[in-house]
Amino acid sequence: MAQPKILVIGGGLAGLSAAMRLAEIGADVDLVSLVPVKRSHSVCAQGGINSVNTLTRQQGDDEWKHFDDTVYGGDFLQHQPPVKEMADWGPRIVDLMDRLGVPFNRTPEGFRDQRRFGGTLYKRTAFAGATTGQQLLYALDEQVRRREVEGKVKKWEFWDFLGPVLDESGRCRGAICQDLVTMQFRAFPADAVILATGGCGLIYGRSTMSMVCNGSAVSRAYRAGAWYGNGEFIQVHPTAIPGADKLRLMSESARGEGGRVWVPRQPHDPRDPRDIPEAERLYFLEERYPKYGNLVPRDIATREIFDICTNEGLSVEKDRLCVYLDLTHVPRETLDRKLGGILEIYEKFQGVDPRVVPMKIFPAVHYSMGGLWVDYEKSGSGGMVEGSPRNHQTNIPGLYAIGECDYQYHGANRLGANSLLSCIFSGLFCAGGVVAGASAGRRTAAEESSRLFEGALRREEERHRKLLARTAGDENPYDLHLQLGNLMTRVATVVRRNEQLAAAYAEVCSLAERWERCAVSDTGNWTNQNVVFTKSLGDMFPLAKLILKGAMLRDECRGAHFKPDFAMPGLAATDPAEKRLEAERWCDRFEANTRRWLKTTVARHGDGGEPEISYEDVDTSLIPPRPRLYGLVGGEMIEEVWKERQAGTRQPAETSA
C-alpha cells in the first residue's frame, strides 16, 4: 500500500518527536497546531530532563531506580510497564537530543553536566541553562523543518482540531480542523490520528500553562467517545510568580541549585528579608524533611507552602499568600550560568533582582497527570512491546494520545524533569506502532468514502454558524472563564473537600448552561479569536466536570490529590510498644486503602454530557506498592513494619485494632 498518512495534532515535544520519527520511517505526516510549532508550550519547561547517566550509574544508580523513583513519586498510580520502558529509554533519549545539537550545560571536561531534581537522591537531570524545554523543542523543530523541506511533513499552523472523524465501526479515520485565519473548515483523512495537545491548565483560569493549553482538543476527543484517565490528578507546582495574566513558573532547578524556602518566624515580618537573621527564619521544608530538604516531591512541597501560609499564618505578606525562595547565598556567577533564564524572567516581571533579594513565590496549577486513557502492550521483560499498534492508542482504534495529554507515566504526581522525557519518549516510541496499525491491511483513508467526511464537516460548520448567530445572548465568555477558573482553583487544587467539590460540580453545570447564552462579540469570519475562545471555553466544562467528579469520588489521599478528611497521619505514640502497634494499624489501613483505591479513574462521556466514572486495576507487577513516607512522623517504624510484612516474617496484624 501507499505510505500511511498520519495526522499529528500538536507540535510540542511529543508531537514533534512523533513527526520526526514518522517522517523517518516513511509516513506522510500532516502536523496541525494552534500556533507555529516553535511557539508551543514546551518552551516553558525550564529545569531539565531526567535519565540515568554515566556518573549516577557509578554512584549506584540504574534504570530500575529511575523507574522506582517515578512510581514511588507518583504514588504507584501509573501502570508500570510503560514507566519502566521510559526509564530504560532515558539515556538514549538524552543522547539523541545531545546529537541534535541541544546546548546542554557542560562540565569542565566537556561532558554533559547534571543537576539534582525533586524526588531523587541522584543528579539525573541534564539541562540547557534554565530553558531546557525551549532548547529541546527547538532541536526537534529544526529536524521537523528539515523533513518539511524534504516534503515528508506538511505543517498546518494556526489550525484548530475540532474533532476526530469515526467510521461506522468506530474507527478513527481522520479529523476536522479549522483554519484560524480564514476560519475555513477542512477534513483531514488519515490512517491514524495522534493527539499531542498538552495539558488543560486554562480550566483553572491562571496557571503556569500557556494560552493554548485549554484542553479543547482532548475534550473534543472525549466527547467523541475517548476515555479519560485520572482526571483529578492535577499538579500544583510549589513555586510560581503570581501575576495578573498568568502565574509564571519558577523552576524546581532553583531549589536544585541550592535555593532555600523559608518564611520569617514572626508573621508578616516587615523587615527587608536580608535583615532577618538566620535564627528568625523558618526553613520549614528542611526542618520537616531532613532527607530531601527543599527537594521533596512537588505535591509535598506545595502542600507545605500552602499550609504554612493558610493554616499557620506565616505568609510573608499579609494580604497576599507567598513564601521566600532564596538564592542569595549562591555565587552570582553560578546563578547566571545555570539559572540565568529563569532569574531574568523574575527580574523582568517583578522588577527585583533575585540574585540579591529573595524571591516571593506561591504554588500554581502546573501539569495534568491525567489525560486521555491509552493502551500499551506489555513485553516479556516487563516493559512495552516496541512497534505494537496498541501502545498509546486510545479506546478509539486509530486515535492515539501522547505527551501531557495522555495519562500514562506520572500517576498521582509527576517528578520534576520527567515530563520532557515522557513527551519525547512517547512521541518516538509510539511511531512504529502507529504505522504498523495504520498499515495492517485495513482500508486506507484515501479509500474511505468522502461522505463520512462531508457529514462531519457539515456538523462542525453548523456548530460554528450557530455560535456566530448567538449575538443576542447576555453572557460574556471571558467573564464565565474567570468564574470557572476561580472556582476550580478554590476547590480542586491543593486541598479538596467533598462538600466543596459537590457544590462546585453544581456550579460548573450552571456555568455550562450559562455558556449556552454566551454572546459572541465578533461575528465575522476572519481571524475571529472571540468565537474560537468561546468554543474552547465550552469544551472546558466536560473536563472540569470529570476532574471534580473524579476528585469527589476518590476518598483517599494520593499524590497531588489531598483530602484532609481521609489523610493518614503519622504515629502519635512515643512508647515503643504502643508505637509499634500503631504502625501495624497504619499498615493495615494502608493495605486496605491500596485494595480500595489503587485504581485508575476512567471517565466516559455519558448521555447528557455527565461523566460516568469507573475504575480499572493498575499494573503493579514489577514494584509492589509501598507507603510513601517522605517526612511522615514515625515513618521509620512504619517502614520497619512494612518491610517485615513484605518479607513475610509477620502476618498482617488484622486483629490488633
Partner 1 sequence: MIKAVETAVHDGDGDAQGGPRLVRVRILRQDAPGEESYWERFEVPYVENMNVISILQQVAAMARSQDGRRVAPVAWDCNCLEEVCGSCTMLINGRTRMACSALVDKLLEEDGEEIELRPMSKFPVVRDLVVDRRRLFRALERVHAWVPVDDSYDHGPGPRISPEDQEDAYPLSTCMSCGCCLEACPQFTKVEVTRREDETAEAFEKRRKAAFDAAFVGAHAISQAVLFNGHPTGKMIADERMAGLTAPGGVQMCGNAQNCVAVCPKSIPLTRSIARAGRAATVWAIRKLFDR
Torsion sign over Cα 402, 406, 408, 411: positive
Rounded to whole angstroms, the Cα distance separating 600 from 228 reads 10
CA-CA distances (angstroms) from residue 616 to 81, 104, 228, 229? 16, 40, 12, 9
Q: Pick between residue 139 and residue 224 the one whose CB is nearest to partner 1.
A: 139
Q: Pick between residue 37 and residue 396 the one whose CB is nearest to partner 1.
A: 37
User: If DSSP codes are grouped into helix, strand and coil, which group holds residue 581?
Assistant: helix
Q: Pick between residue 193 and residue 345 the one whose CB is nearest to partner 1.
A: 345
Min CB(379)–partner 1 separation in Å = 18
Q: Pick between residue 479 and residue 499 the one whose CB is nearest to partner 1.
A: 479
Min CB(462)–partner 1 separation in Å = 23
Rounded to whole angstroms, the Cα distance separating 342 from 174 reads 40
Rounded to whole angstroms, the Cα distance separating 330 from 316 reads 22
Min CB(628)–partner 1 separation in Å = 32
Rounded to whole angstroms, the Cα distance separating 483 from 655 reads 50
Q: Pick between residue 19 and residue 613 the one whose CB is nearest to partner 1.
A: 19
Min CB(431)–partner 1 separation in Å = 9
Min CB(321)–partner 1 separation in Å = 15
Q: Pick between residue 146 and residue 458 the one whose CB is nearest to partner 1.
A: 146
For residues 208 and 201, is the Cβ–Cβ distance under 8 A? yes
For residues 155 and 33, is the Cβ–Cβ distance under 8 A? yes
Min CB(614)–partner 1 separation in Å = 36
Residue 186: CB partners within 8 Å, gap ≥ 6?
Answer: 176, 177, 178, 179, 457
Instruction: Name the phi and psi angles at 524, rounded to 5.
Output: -80, 175
Instruction: Name the phi and psi angles at 617, rounded to 5.
Output: -65, 150
Q: Pick between residue 210 and residue 600 the one whose CB is nearest to partner 1.
A: 210
Enter the C-alpha cell of residue 459. 456538523
User: If DSSP codes are grouped into helix, strand and coil, which group holds residue 561?
Assistant: strand
Residue 450: CB partners within 8 Å, gap ≥ 6?
Answer: none
Min CB(48)–partner 1 separation in Å = 14
Enter the C-alpha cell of residue 353. 533582582
Long-range contacts of range 595-599, CB-CB < 8 Å, 24 or more positions apart?
596/556, 597/554, 597/555, 597/556, 597/558, 598/76, 598/77, 598/625
Torsion sign over Cα 224, 207, 631, 84: positive
Enter the C-alpha cell of residue 538. 465550552
Print burial letters for 478-491: b (CB count within 10 Å at least 16), e (below 16): eebbebbbebbbeb
Q: Pick between residue 253 and residue 593 the one whose CB is nearest to partner 1.
A: 253
Torsion sign over Cα 351, 355, 359, 363: positive
Min CB(520)–partner 1 separation in Å = 10
Rounded to whole angstroms, the Cα distance separating 422 from 403 reads 6
Q: What are the residue numbers of the active site?
A: 298
DSSP 633: T
Min CB(396)–partner 1 separation in Å = 27
Q: Pick between residue 432 and residue 570 the one whose CB is nearest to partner 1.
A: 432
